[in-house]
Structure 1
Amino acid sequence: MHIFKSTKLVIPLLFWVAIMQTAYADDRLVKIRVDGLACSYCAYGIEKKLMKLPGVKHVDIDLPNGLVIVTGSDKLKLDPEQLRKLFEDAGFTFRAIVRDDGRKAQ
């Protein structure tokens, strides 16, 4: 009887995990190195600007490491010159789009 009750909880949880994994499977992840991000207010301003770009779904800011992490659809296209202007207009310095291994993207 005890096992049956546990199974009732586990199966919906596994179903939810499978759905969430499928929903984000096609997302692109882009990391952007930026200088000048110092507080959550700065982060919020950048998040608002990036969320207006086509294909952007979510933005995370890693303040200590100066990284902006953008999650987007397969339609997400972030041009370095576009990003340079966006960050400079907001008072920050765009450095590079970074690969997963931390090196500058070509």
Structure 2
Amino acid sequence: MFRSLLMALVAIGLASAAVAAQPRYQIEVAGLACPFCAYGIEKKLRAIEGVERVETNIKEGTVVVVLKEGATLDRARVERAVREAGFTLKGFRPVSPGGH
């Protein structure tokens, strides 16, 4: 039983490490003011290949994009998606996992 518990804990630890390795980017957006705005920008960003999750903070005007492991994201693609959603990209930077 102890061995099974130990194996489960190791598996959880490895899964956590894999999630932590996922690339993340913080995007600053001019004009992000309401949930409808957030929906529009999230929809465009999720359509980018390799994007796993999008987290929007309307109050701060920021969006965190989490990529699938091994995926990449460049400023030009993000800028195009933000522009197509009707907004202006103010900032684009990688962030450490867990940090916003």
TM range (shorter): 0.7 to 0.9
Report the CA distance shift for 1:75/1:39 in structure 2 as closer, same or farther (over 3 A). Answer: same
2:63 maps to 1:75: no
TM-score where L is the length of structure 1: 0.69
TM-fit CA distance, 1:66: 1.0
User: Which residue pairs with 2:59 in the alignment?
Assistant: 64
Unpaired runs of 5+ residues, structure 2, are none
* Larger radius of gyration between Structure 1 and Structure 2: 1
Unaligned 5+ runs, structure 1: 1-10, 102-106
Does the 8 Å CA contact 2:44/2:84 hold for their aligned counterparts?
no
Query: Which whole-Å CA distance do the structure 1 matches of 2:62 and 2:36 have between them?
Result: 15
- Which structure has more relative contact order (CA 8 Å, sep 6+)? It is 2
Q: Identity over the aligned pairs, expressed in percent?
A: 31
- How many residue pairs match? The answer is 90
Give the C-alpha shift of residue 94 in structure 1.
0.6
Aligned-pair Cα RMSD in Å: 2.5
CA–CA separation in structure 2 for the residues paired with 1:41 and 1:81: 24
